[in-house]
Amino acid sequence: MSNEELAVLIRAGVDVPENTAALYEQNKGMIARLAWKLRAYAELEDLRQEGYIGLCNAVDAWKPEGGASFIHYAVFWIRQAMQRYIENNGSCVRIPSGQQQKIRKYKKIRGQYLKLLGREPADWELCRLLGVSRDVLHHIREDARKGQIQSLSAPLGEDGDLSLEDTIPDQRDDYAGVLDAVQQEELGAVLWPMVDSLEERQAKTLRARYQDGKTLKETGEALGCSLQQARVIETNALRTLRRPRYANQLRPFLYDDMVRSKGMQGTGAERFRQTWTSATERAALGW
């Protein structure tokens, strides 16, 4: 029975296991030859299995009315299945399929230049031939180097004391979160005693606003005063904290990444007129 006849029967649901096995037996030699060409990138047995999957996919996608012979149609699907397997499992570092295609084209161009011209192509030549920008070319080169990694345990450097896996951060450990918590505690240990040393109503206002998250209206109600009076008390308290004897104690924290990154938010003259506080002050106070 021909490949086309078997494929038609399988698509019709007639004795699918038996006919699929027969189709594989008729084409396993071709699958083995395709796997042999790619043996440098994966195990032969794994490639043959992927070839079988590609053959089955070809049956589902083949259209008898198209006029193309099944075997020519199936070669594409078998080769694609093997190639995708290599892309997904042939390297310790997972590189997307689209990027893999760019890397192959990049390597092919380099090889042709070395063979014909005896030199590496210039960056502008690579960008033009690949149709990419210099930034994209840089990423292609980086991914090409990653794709050459064969083992995460391979030693790095001459001493061999460090391996690639030693340089990969453990995602289960929130180092950044721990550092932020420590920095918050250190900042609070300096800031809040300074706040408590202010006049009592000023200290209560700042704690209500920046520790308890209350609005000016809620703060005024807690102090038994109006919203506008609460605003004046807060403004005077912050003005006091700007004096050198207070500000010098907070200066080491102003350049900390935690405060600086938050201090970039809401910066500007309009925001200052609305709150009478700088972005860095709001970040330090925990707003």
pLDDT in tens, 96-139: 667 777 888 888 888 888 888 888 888 888 888 888 888 888 88
Given a cut of 50, is residue 257 above it in pLDDT? Answer: no
Lowest mean pLDDT among 18-32, 138-152, 221-235: 138-152
**Between these two residues, 230 and 178, which has the higher pLDDT value?**
230
What kind of fold does domain 3-89 have according to CATH?
Answer: Four Helix Bundle (Hemerythrin (Met), subunit A) (1.20.120)
Does pTM top 0.95 for this prediction? no
Residues 254-273 have a mean pLDDT of 48
Digit-coded pLDDT (tens) for 36-74: 988 877 788 888 999 899 888 888 888 877 777 888 888
Given a cut of 50, is residue 264 above it in pLDDT? Answer: no
Digit-coded pLDDT (tens) for 225-237: 988 898 899 888 8
Given a cut of 80, is residue 144 above it in pLDDT? Answer: no
Given a cut of 80, is residue 148 above it in pLDDT? Answer: no
Given a cut of 50, is residue 287 above it in pLDDT? Answer: no
Given a cut of 70, is residue 251 above it in pLDDT? Answer: no
User: pLDDT averaged over the chain?
Assistant: 75
Query: In angstroms, rounded to a whole number, what is the distance separating the alpha carbons of residues 119 and 101?
Result: 23
